[in-house]
Chain A
Amino acid sequence: MRHLLSCRDLDLTTTTAILDLAEEMQQVQSRPVKKLPALRGRTIVNIFFEDSTRTRTSFEIAGKWLSADTINVSAKGSSVSKGESLRDTMLTLDAMGVDAFVIRHASSGAAAQVASWVKAQVVNAGDGQHEHPTQALLDAFTMRQHFARHDLGGFEGKRVAIVGDVLHSRVARSNVILQQTLGSEVVLVAPPTLMPTGADTWGCEVTKDFDEVLDSCDIVMMLRVQRERMAGGFFPTEREYTEAYGLTPERLAAMKSGAAICHPGPMNRGVEISSAAADAANSLVLEQVAAGVAIRMSVLYHLLGSDEGAMH
Chain B
Amino acid sequence: MPSLLITGAKLADGTTTDLFIADGVLADPGSAPAGVERIDADGLIAIPGLVDPHTHLRQPGREDAETVDTGTAAAARGGFTCVHAMANLTPVTDTAEAAEFVQSLGERDGHCEVRVVGAVTKGLDGEELSELGLMANSRANVRVFSDDGRCVADSLVMRRALTYVKSFDGVIAQHSQDPRLAGPTACCHESEWSGKLGLPGWPSQAESIIVARDVQLAELTDSRIHVCHVSTAESVEVIRWAKKRGIKVTAEATPHHLLLDTPLVAGYDTTFKVNPPLRTSEHLEAIREALADGTIDMVGTDHAPHARQDKDHPFDVALPGMIGLEQALAVVMEVMVNTGRMDWPTLVERMSFAPARLGHTPTQGRPLAIGEPANVTLVDPSARATVDAEQSRSRARNNPYHGRELPDPVMATIWAGKVTYRR
**Interface residue ranges, A against B (CB under 8 Å):** 85-88, 105-110, 112-113, 116, 127-131, 167, 170, 173, 196-199, 201-202
Closest to A131 in B: B198
Residues of B within 8 A of A131 (CB): 198
Q: Are A107 and B316 in contact (CB under 8 A)?
A: yes
The distance in angstroms between the C-alpha atoms of A42 and B194, with both chains bound, is 37
Closest to B309 in A: A85
The distance in angstroms between the C-alpha atoms of A85 and B310, with both chains bound, is 8
Q: Are B314 and A105 in contact (CB under 8 A)?
A: yes
Is B195 located at the chain interface by the 8 A CB criterion?
yes
Residues of A within 8 A of B194 (CB): 196-198
Interface string of B288-319 (1 = CB under 8 A from A): 00000000000000000000010011111100
Residue from A108, A112, A129, A197 within 8 A of B192 (CB atoms): A197
Q: Are B195 and A88 in contact (CB under 8 A)?
A: no
CB distance from A155 to the nearest CB of B (A): 22
Residues of B within 8 A of A170 (CB): 198
Residues of A within 8 A of B313 (CB): 85-87
Residues of A within 8 A of B314 (CB): 86, 105-110, 113, 128
Q: Which of B374-391 contact A (CB under 8 A)?
A: none
Residues of B within 8 A of A128 (CB): 198, 314, 316
Residues of A within 8 A of B25 (CB): none
Closest to A89 in B: B312
Residues of B within 8 A of A110 (CB): 268, 314-315
Residues of A within 8 A of B312 (CB): 85-88
Q: Are B316 and A108 in contact (CB under 8 A)?
A: yes
Chain B, interface SS category: loop
Is B196 located at the chain interface by the 8 A CB criterion?
yes
Q: Are A173 and B192 in contact (CB under 8 A)?
A: no
A-B contacts, 9 listed (Cβ < 8 Å): A107-B317, A108-B268, A116-B269, A127-B198, A128-B314, A128-B316, A173-B196, A196-B195, A197-B192
Interface string of B360-396 (1 = CB under 8 A from A): 0000000000000000000000000000000000000
Residues of A within 8 A of B164 (CB): none
The distance in angstroms between the C-alpha atoms of A297 and B314, with both chains bound, is 28
Complex A-B, nearest 10 residue pairs according to Cβ-Cβ distance, in ascending order: A109-B268, A198-B192, A107-B314, A196-B195, A129-B198, A130-B198, A87-B312, A85-B312, A108-B198, A198-B195
Q: Are A198 and B317 in contact (CB under 8 A)?
A: no
Q: Are B309 and A88 in contact (CB under 8 A)?
A: yes
Residues of A within 8 A of B198 (CB): 108-109, 127-131, 170, 173
Q: Are A109 and B199 in contact (CB under 8 A)?
A: yes
Is B191 located at the chain interface by the 8 A CB criterion?
yes
The distance in angstroms between the C-alpha atoms of A116 and B268, with both chains bound, is 10
Is B113 located at the chain interface by the 8 A CB criterion?
no
Residues of B within 8 A of A201 (CB): 192
Interface-centre pick from B190, B194, B198, B313 (highest chain A CB count, 10 A)? B198
The distance in angstroms between the C-alpha atoms of A105 and B270, with both chains bound, is 16
The distance in angstroms between the C-alpha atoms of A170 and B197, with both chains bound, is 10
CB distance from B266 to the nearest CB of A (A): 9
Residues of B within 8 A of A109 (CB): 197-199, 268, 314-315
CB distance from B195 to the nearest CB of A (A): 3
Residues of A within 8 A of B24 (CB): none
Is B30 located at the chain interface by the 8 A CB criterion?
no
